[in-house]
Amino acid sequence: MEAHSHATPPADGPTLGSLPVEPLLTAEFDVDPGAVYERLRSTYGPVAPVGLMGVPVWLVLGYTEVTEVLRNESLWRRDIRYWRARAEGRLPRDWPLLAGYEVRQMMFMDDDEHLGARRTHHSALSPFQDARSPEGWQLRAAVARYADELVGMLAAESGSVGFADLGAQYTRPLLLMVTTKLFGCPVELGDELVMDLWRMLDGGPDSGPATARALGAFTRLAAHRRARPGDDLTSYMLLADPGLSDEQLGRELFMNAVYLNDITGNMVLNTLLEVLRGNATVRRSLSAGQLGETVNRAALANPPVANMCFRFAARDVRLGEVWVRAGDAVSPSAAAAHHDLLAISSSHLVGSTVSTRAHLGWGAGPHQCPSAARELGGMIVATAVGRVLDHFARAELTLPPDQLPWRSGPVVRGLRLLPVRYELRAGVLPAQRRDPAEPSTAPTADGYARRLLTVLRRLMPGGKEEDRVLP
């Protein structure tokens, strides 16, 4: 691959802007992204031009090409100032994905600036991923307790046998409770956070104002914790780099909140789905008691970061069968690349271990998910899935797997709902219903989760416009 990188593209060769592109985000892509990746691959090879909400980019589909882009940071840059279309003013000003890309935080930095920011994140996250440190075991205990309380609420609301949406009634509130605890958020920030992160990530028409509101909320959180430090990630980021301004810390927290809420939440749901739909290897790893392996297998089948954020070519380079020109945007697709891995692992020549070791669910190269964050994310997913398996005697999907509604954005693939018919094991205690007249003192997880549930239900598809909390 590198052998080509200093060669010159043919003068009359096609450029990204000159090629006809098919839009990626279609109804077909929502339902069956694998079929879209296969069609693109058979038309163009391992790198294909696609349209993302009207803007042409290269989608990298082949495993070899994806790992090349992720690992070679001198050629594939993250800083969006390398993006030629942006520098030349060719992006529509209201392009819905621009708001997220304009947030200058660690993901969109290169070289020493990036390394410095990564050190700060690592140092601030480490105490929480270490099960032997007080912060680590307190967080572990809190995740398990929140999960138990949410199952208890389910028992209180719907009984020990009933129907539930494990997205809205379990996973999403769980991740928000964990974020609130980890970030040291005053409770009021929670509702703002969930609504605006979803709007920004989905690239909706109001993604710009939603991003600005979420950044404002995290900047206020940074200022709050600077004045009143605690045992939380926000305060530890400031300890690790006291030179961080409130605005920059706000931007870093914003990006972490995306991973902690949306990506980790989708990993929980995708893992539960693989278990419920009876993925044979997932079930085997479960029955062998290897929950970590179960999570890896689910990441292979359905990585929540399906298509990673853009890299920009530092110079003209041949990738797959196309010439990518300096400043073109490329999106490495973990989901498409996993098709190659699944094909290899089903070969008679290679053992099944290939697949879990080589998956790109955490990314690869200098921008891969930091080790402390991976530990933390893995612990949260394993605990959340493990508590469901502990508490449910039986759970089955109420929709055929191919009819489940997916949120299929430019980056994330995650379930909108995970509807199940369930039976709880004996001994799951329903959460206590509080008398509404009783004044609430400290914000309990139960009370907080109930408020979140109300908000989340308003956000669900079909929720009434007049019920929405934000304009």
Binding-site ranges for ligand HEM (CB under 6 A) = 106-107, 118, 121, 255-256, 259-260, 263-264, 267, 304-305, 308-309, 361-363, 367-370, 373, 376-377, 381
Smallest gap from Cβ 114 to ligand HEM, in A, equals 6
Minimum CB separation of residue 273 from ligand HEM in Å reads 14
| Distance in Å, CB of 378 to ligand HEM, minimum | 6
Q: Which is nearer to ligand HEM, 60 or 153 (CB)?
A: 60
What is the rounded distance in angstroms from the CA atom of residue 296 to the CA atom of residue 305? 13
- For residue 121, the Cα-to-chain-centroid distance in whole angstroms is 17
How is 224-237 classified by DSSP, letter by letter? HHHHS--SSHHHHH
Query: Residue 331 pairs with which residues in a beta bridge?
Result: 59
In the complex with ligand HEM, which residue's Cβ is closer, 382 or 431? 382
Nearest to 164 by CA among 147, 150, 148, 146: 150
Nearer to ligand HEM, 155 or 300 (CB): 300
* Shortest Å, Cβ 44 to ligand HEM: 22
Q: Which is nearer to ligand HEM, 144 or 255 (CB)?
A: 255
Using DSSP's 3-state secondary structure scheme, residue 281 falls into helix
Contact 1, 321 (CB under 8 A): no
The residue type found at 156 is: A
HEC assignment per residue over 100-123: HHCCCCHHHCCHHHHHHHHHHHHH
Q: How far is the CB of 255 from ligand HEM (least distance, A)?
A: 6
Long-range contacts formed by 429-438: CB under 8 A, 24+ apart: 429/152, 429/155, 430/152, 430/153, 430/155, 430/156, 431/149, 431/152, 431/153, 431/155, 431/156, 432/156, 433/156
Strand-strand pairing, 322-324 and 317-319: antiparallel
DSSP state string for 201-223: HTT-TTHHHHHHHHHHHHHHHHH
SS3 of 408, please? strand
CA dihedral 308, 314, 318, 319 (to 10 degrees): -10
Asked if 206 contacts 99 with a C-beta cutoff of 8 angstroms, the reply is no
Closest CB 370 distance from ligand HEM, rounded Å: 6
Distance CA 69, CA 71 (A): 6
| Nearest approach, Cβ of residue 138 and ligand HEM (Å) | 16
CB of 352 to ligand HEM, least distance (A): 21
Q: How far is the CB of 379 from ligand HEM (least distance, A)?
A: 9
3-state DSSP assignment of residue 238: helix
